[in-house]
Structure 1
Amino acid sequence: MRRVGYWISEKKRRKLNFEEHRELFRNAGIDLVMIDLKKSLEGQGPFDLLIHKVTDIFAKAVHGHESSEDALENLETYIQNHPECVVLDSLDRIRCVLNRYTQYQRVSTCQAMKDNRCMIPAFVELNSANVHENKEKLARAGVTFPLVCKPILAHGSSFAHQISIIFSEEFLKDIDPPCVAQSFINHSAILYKILVVGCKQFIIQRPSLKNLYPGNYPTIFFDTQEVSKADSDHPLNAVDYATLQDQPTKPDWVYLDQLGQSMRETMELDLFGFDVIIDSETSQYGIIDINFFPGFEAIDSFFELLLEHIVRVLDARDRGELVNGRLLSPPQDPANVNILNQLNLQTRRPQTNDVNGKGRPGTMSPSPVIKFCPRDLEGSVPEHKYIGGNNNNVIASKEDGIRDEESDNNVGTPAINSSTTCSKGKLGTPSWGYVQPSQNPNQPSKLI
């Protein structure tokens, strides 16, 4: 009986319950064992293969968390002492993915980048809040407005998902280093998540940020997990597909599948995912994010696929066919592309007329618009000021009331004022107003 050890966080186990699939693995001749990183792995082994997601532990260890450092040392010591044990995935490769700047550098070496069909939006690492210095770095790197600021730490903390969008030089003061600043590429509010399980790729279509344009607008702060959920109904992904110029480019599914294979070889990972957008103007494919061991619960047959890959890897190991501890990808079959879902574009929220839209009247029913609030005077970003929540739920103080006027579609678009705060941690009532649509794409809609 082969032995496979695994470690994932308790939160991850609630979504992917390995214990429920012990019988599945046992029927394939594999004893599935949950390991304890607080205890010596020598006493828990031997293991033929280890599966892990220790990005949270990595992140804590970077900041000097003693028990996390001990857990990593325990894992690394066992791996070094047992070269026959296959690891999904290499800890060195995980370190590369933890840092957004190094992961982008790695992606830039991908074979798919050799032609002009795929790219990474221009990016630069910023380690200072000095506006003049950052302005020069952005110019040298070719990063244009609007730009996206992402924390340098890509995993292991909720802060890794707190993103800001800056629209002009005036608001470069909102940069919160260390971070990666990257040109925002309009992609008609759709992204493609490529999930890689061993030698197989799965494509998921998800909502994303709507098209945005440079201008003298306050910085937007938001959580990416709120914007790109499968059922996301967020103001930042409001679009109007009834308008021809907003129609998203149809993806080449076979090419996306090929991209998955190419990225697997580049990143040298077997359990990961990455996000792809399609430039609304050039139709180029852009890779904008990489995630180790992402939400595989989206794949119904994940454990069967994982088991199949593990068996193939261990069989190849026994035959001496692994290359650098990894299984070589088989030739691609264009007729066998795994597309898990496609968005129903007709049900997406219509384009709104706020400061970051195109400013034209929506051709579908009105939808809420958020008045985005900048940082406070101290320069920090209070957690409650991040825009988030399905159905535009906004945390407000209980002193705020609701206007008595009934909504009238002919008057304008209802607006949520998100500058209110939470009173003693209780969810209050949002304050509503009405927005008079602006016909000028560079002018905000007027709240009345």
Structure 2
Amino acid sequence: MGGVRALILDASILLADDCDGNGAPTLRAGADFLFRALQFSQLRKVNLLEKMSEVYSFDCFKVSISALEVLMNEISVAWDDIRKDILFVLHSKKVDDFLKLCERGVLLSILDVDTGGDTNKHPSAHYIEKLEELPLTLCRLNKKVASKEAITVGYCMKPSRQADFAKRGAFPLCSVQHDLMFLPLSYDLSIPLQLQEIDVILHKATDDILSVELNLSLAPKITYTNGMEELRRTLPDHPHCCVIDPFNNIYPVLDRLKIQYLLLGLEDLNKEGFSKIRGAHFLKVESYNDPSLSDKLLEAKVSLPSIVKPQVACGVSSAHSMAIVFSLEDYKELQVPLPTVIQVVDVSSSEENKGLDEKGDPQEYVDHSSTLFKFYVLGEKVFHAVKKSTPNGDVLMKLSQANQLKPLVFDSLKSLPTAEKNQYGDEAVDLELVKNAANWLREKLDLTIFGFDVVIQEGTGDHVIVDVNYLPSFKEVSDDVAIPAFWEAIKNKFRERQQTISQP
């Protein structure tokens, strides 16, 4: 097979030279990054620190490399299918152990954490100065024996999202079967150096946003972390890298108002006598004390109750601060950050009854049966899952009454009010209609991997898109179906890009 199939980390490379205030050993800088990268990499791993082995589910051999024969016997028992494809990683100070390993001739290569001293470097060793360099070196070694079709995907996202993808097997460090290698980018290393080894950049840039200023007619003004900003500036100098997806393509998803205007174009997909697909009725609000707010809501067909969302859709914590309001008075003391986009939660069952009464109280409305359909677009393939949604109107009213008739304020990621169960199933959704909308959105947004949420309005059967997001986790779809589709979407996008570049 070739390449690195197993990795042995000697404790010497994981421990810092200094102890903590209590005299206890501490981990070397970069150890957490390395553990996250290796935990679900599909490599066999040994960590000679017992405590960290338990945390990251690594094997642990309580034997020093100095006792090489004993160690190799334990390895042969634990990993009987691996022979010479093992990479040992040890500290440059362990010269004697290094020489023993070289004499044994059983390993592909040795990495040495160089402390910057005058160590005589052995020609068969691969030297690194930081632990963060180890995944990059593994990538280089595996590329030497990989097929010409192999694609290296560098990815960057927040650690929790990385772990969510990786534990489902989405980020193998080396996958012979699928010709993909996934390499986590480190902002502590040279970005240009890493890009030299990478064919595809898969990013969740919104995880690295510090602030956003929106402008409906122009690109948003975004402040990224230093690492993401360096990546964004450096990418134009590496035209061979296929970016999934280009930064400009994700900007509309940051702005709920732009998405709402985009969804107006769904009307072209609808046919007389069939279910319709559309966006929710909406209104942008600059001030909750606008004296003409009632008239504007009525003109925009936004009836009560309605949901109030910040215009910024993601990237900052306030993007998920929302409220469900039941009367005009609810708006006056609302704390949802401005500007906001107000959408209909439920709509009146008859055209003549739409709107607000003179007190601003909610009138008759139709529920969406507490059911949310989550759709995921992975390249050319579309998947969906059924989830619980906000409760029906009578339940929302009871929640409001229990809250002294105040708006229901919530964080959509943490405290979204949901019903006990959804009432719709797959039989309620027009899959052909929604897949047509998915293809339409793919073309309009020019995104490779994205998701959107649909609710079905009772009475009319309208399919209403209430949210669009970039690079979702799609964890509601079975891994054995979604992960191969995820990989295929990446490969197809890369090949498409290569064909575009090669054209005269």
Q: Provide the rounded CA distance (Å) in 1 between the counterparts of 2:502 and 2:321.
A: 39
Q: 1:220 to 1:204 in 2, by over 3 A?
A: same
Structure 1 position 224 matched with structure 2 position 439: no
Structure 1 position 32 matched with structure 2 position 182: yes
Q: Secondary structure at the match of 2:458?
A: coil
- For residue 263 of structure 1, report the CA deviation from its aligned partner: 2.0
| Contact map agreement 2:369 2:422 (CA 8 A) in 1 | no
Q: Secondary structure at the match of 1:130?
A: coil
| Contact map agreement 1:273 1:290 (CA 8 A) in 2 | yes
Structure 2 counterparts to residues 32-431 of structure 1, below 5 A: 32-37=182-187, 39-46=189-196, 47-60=198-211, 68-110=224-266, 115=271, 117-175=276-334, 176=336, 177-185=338-346, 186-212=367-393, 217-225=405-413, 236-238=418-420, 250-299=428-477, 300-301=479-480, 302-320=482-500
Equivalent residue letter for 1:200: K
Based on CA coordinates, which of the two structures has the bigger radius of gyration? Answer: 2
Q: Provide the rounded CA distance (Å) in 2 between the counterparts of 1:123 and 1:273.
A: 20
Q: Provide the rounded CA distance (Å) in 1 between the counterparts of 2:255 and 2:431.
A: 29
Provide Cα deviations, 1:81-137, integer angstroms capped at 9, x if missing partner: 233321111211212111211122222234755557111121111122324143343
- For residue 35 of structure 1, report the CA deviation from its aligned partner: 1.1
Q: Provide the rounded CA distance (Å) in 1 between the counterparts of 2:373 and 2:296.
A: 30
Equivalent residue letter for 2:344: S
| Contact map agreement 1:112 1:262 (CA 8 A) in 2 | no
Q: Provide the rounded CA distance (Å) in 2 between the counterparts of 1:10 and 1:67.
A: 20
- For residue 33 of structure 1, report the CA deviation from its aligned partner: 1.5
Q: Provide the rounded CA distance (Å) in 2 between the counterparts of 1:296 and 1:97.
A: 17
Q: Secondary structure at the match of 1:312?
A: helix
Consecutive unaligned residues in structure 2, runs of 5 or more:
1-149, 215-219, 347-366
Q: Provide the rounded CA distance (Å) in 1 between the counterparts of 2:290 and 2:315.
A: 28
Equivalent residue letter for 1:71: G
Q: Provide the rounded CA distance (Å) in 1 between the counterparts of 2:386 and 2:425.
A: 15
Q: Provide the rounded CA distance (Å) in 2 between the counterparts of 1:240 and 1:267.
A: 30
| Contact map agreement 1:188 1:248 (CA 8 A) in 2 | no
**Runs of 4+ with deviation above 6 angstroms:** 63-67, 213-216, 246-249
Question: What is the percent sequence identity of the aligned residues?
Answer: 24
- For residue 146 of structure 1, report the CA deviation from its aligned partner: 1.0
Equivalent residue letter for 2:326: F
**RMSD of Structure 2 on Structure 1 (CA):** 3.4
Q: 1:96 to 1:41 in 2, by over 3 A?
A: same
- For residue 170 of structure 1, report the CA deviation from its aligned partner: 2.2
Number of corresponding residues = 313
Q: Secondary structure at the match of 2:226?
A: helix
| Contact map agreement 1:209 1:227 (CA 8 A) in 2 | no
2:158 is matched with which residue?
9
Consecutive unaligned residues in structure 1, runs of 5 or more:
229-233, 324-448
Equivalent residue letter for 1:172: Y
- Bigger drift between 281-290 and 73-82 goes to 73-82
Q: Provide the rounded CA distance (Å) in 2 between the counterparts of 1:118 and 1:65.
A: 32
Q: 1:224 to 1:85 in 2, by over 3 A?
A: same
Q: Secondary structure at the match of 1:296?
A: coil
2:172 is matched with which residue?
22
- For residue 61 of structure 1, report the CA deviation from its aligned partner: 6.1
Larger proportion of helix: 2
Equivalent residue letter for 2:452: F
Q: 1:89 to 1:18 in 2, by over 3 A?
A: farther
Equivalent residue letter for 2:202: I
Q: Provide the rounded CA distance (Å) in 1 between the counterparts of 2:296 and 2:331.
A: 12
- For residue 321 of structure 1, report the CA deviation from its aligned partner: 8.7
| Contact map agreement 1:273 1:294 (CA 8 A) in 2 | yes
Q: Provide the rounded CA distance (Å) in 2 between the counterparts of 1:239 and 1:2.
A: 43
Q: Provide the rounded CA distance (Å) in 1 between the counterparts of 2:427 and 2:485.
A: 31
| Contact map agreement 1:197 1:306 (CA 8 A) in 2 | yes
Q: Provide the rounded CA distance (Å) in 2 between the counterparts of 1:240 and 1:199.
A: 28
Q: 1:107 to 1:225 in 2, by over 3 A?
A: same
Q: TM-score, normalised by structure 2?
A: 0.55
- Bigger drift between 210-219 and 166-175 goes to 210-219
